[in-house]
Amino acid sequence: MKTNETDKFWDRNALYEEVWTTPMQRLAEKYGISDVGLAKVCRKLSIPRPGRGDWARIAAGQIVARTPLPKLSEEIRVWKPVPRKEIPRVEQIANKQERLQLERLEQLPSEYVLKHGSLSHPLIAQARIVLARATEDDRHILQVREQCLDIRVSKKSLDRALRIMAGLISLIENEGFVVKVVKNSREQTTAVIHEQEIAFGIVENAERVDAISLLSENILKKVLSYGGTDVAFHPTGQLSLEIWKPWQADPKRWRDKKDSLLEGILPRIVASFIRIALAERTERDKERAADQERQRKNKDRARLHRLIKEEKARVEALHRTTGDWIRADQLRTFIQAARDAAIENGQEVQPGTQFGDWLIWMEQQADRLDPLKESPISIIDREDDVSNYRDPYAAPEKEPRFEFPKPIWKIK
């Protein structure tokens, strides 16, 4: 169903009615935005709102006078936000065993994960080799062009990032899932969980700082410039683990905080990976079911279309057959009238006579039309034998024309 163009914008009059009949917080939830965001929309559209104490008075049964909706000198159009997708509950997407797995992971001590994370894991060992010879970009972050785990950090943070990645990979594989590095892909690190792919990586934040301009013979050395200010970038040591695929994953990022580092939340991160995979699986199942339903409907429509065409063909055949039967009856009536007229005029009509043989031929044509009789053999039945025949040396032939004489028994 196509979306109406007006549905993309707020309806000022409708929103005014809702604002005065529904508390802002509940109304904001309806549209998938915050109450602060909804208040901004009201200000843009010049929609007056109830005061803070008005809803308490309304709840107490008092009547609160509305502030009238002012007229606008010109139309204002404000885009409606795209509603946030509701995050499914675990009960909706996971079976009992999967729910127990999530509960166990969330209770797992992070120290256990780091202790069992193997730095000798093939992916970790290969990443260490590749990143050891990697060059730095202008933010002092290691960049590689080879197949490698997605670890985008500085040299100083590399050992820590490898330990985090080792713990993460170990935990994912211990839960029965797979981590692989995908070739020819910008985001190469992929966890395959419940047949769903989750691309992720570890990233170090680089902050922008003012750089000291270097003067050489009164010429300002060119450095990165933002708004006329010379700047440089320095890694902060703050790491984050980010999900790049699926793009709608929620949450998508976990960061180091002052009171907690990534190392302390690895079990929770893996549990989130599993939730995201389960949600994706549910969506894929829905899409697959919807696709199967569309295919079923298309097959039903195709079958119905075929049956309708077949029924129409039968009806048309019935009409043709009925017409042939009527014409055969008319033809027999005519043949009898011709026989009677010929006898009345002293003409011979017995078989073997000239007109008698013509009468037999006409009766055969009536039988060929009549659907209630066997069709006599006719030379016309062999028309297909010469359908593609053409004598290249013969002059074009005119179609033969035949007319019965008057009276008809004079036919020769």
End-to-end CA distance of the chain: 73
Report the share of the chain in percent with pLDDT over 70. 92
Same-domain check for residues 130 and 249: yes
- Residue ending a domain, among 242, 266, 287, is 287
Q: Residue 245 — φ and ψ, nearest 5°?
A: -145, 130
Give per-residue pLDDT as tens, 130-163.
999 999 998 899 998 889 999 999 999 999 999 9
Domain of residue 45: give its range. 1-84
In this structure, the answer to whether residues 241 and 130 fall within a common structural domain is: yes
- pLDDT-derived band at 6, boundaries 50, 70, 90: low
Residue 237: inside a domain: yes
Q: What ranges in 175-265 are assigned the alpha helix state H?
A: none
Quick check: 17 and 27 in contact, CB under 8 A?
no
Total number of domains in the chain: 2
Residue 390 lies in a domain: no
pLDDT score, position 213: 45
301 within a domain of the structure (yes/no): no
pLDDT at 85: 62
Q: Which of 192-201, 243-252, 317-326 has the lowest mean pLDDT?
A: 243-252
The type of residue at 215 is L
Rounded-to-integer distance, Cα 215 and Cα 223, Å: 12
Q: Are residues 116 and 209 in the same domain?
A: yes
Whole-structure pTM value: 0.62
- Check whether residue 117 and residue 212 sit in a common domain: yes
What's the pLDDT at 391?
75
The per-residue pLDDT for 216 is 46
What pLDDT was estimated at residue 215?
43
CA 170 to chain centre: 35
- Nearest Cα residue to 245 out of 200, 277, 282: 200
225 and 94 within one domain: yes
What pLDDT is recorded for position 219?
40
Secondary structure of residue 34 in the 3-state scheme: coil
Q: Pick the residue with more confidence: 82 or 33?
A: 33
Residues 67 and 123 in one domain: no
Kindly state the tokens that stand for 19: 């604002």
> 271 in helix, strand or coil?
helix
410 part of a folded domain: no
- The pLDDT value recorded for residue 228 is 52
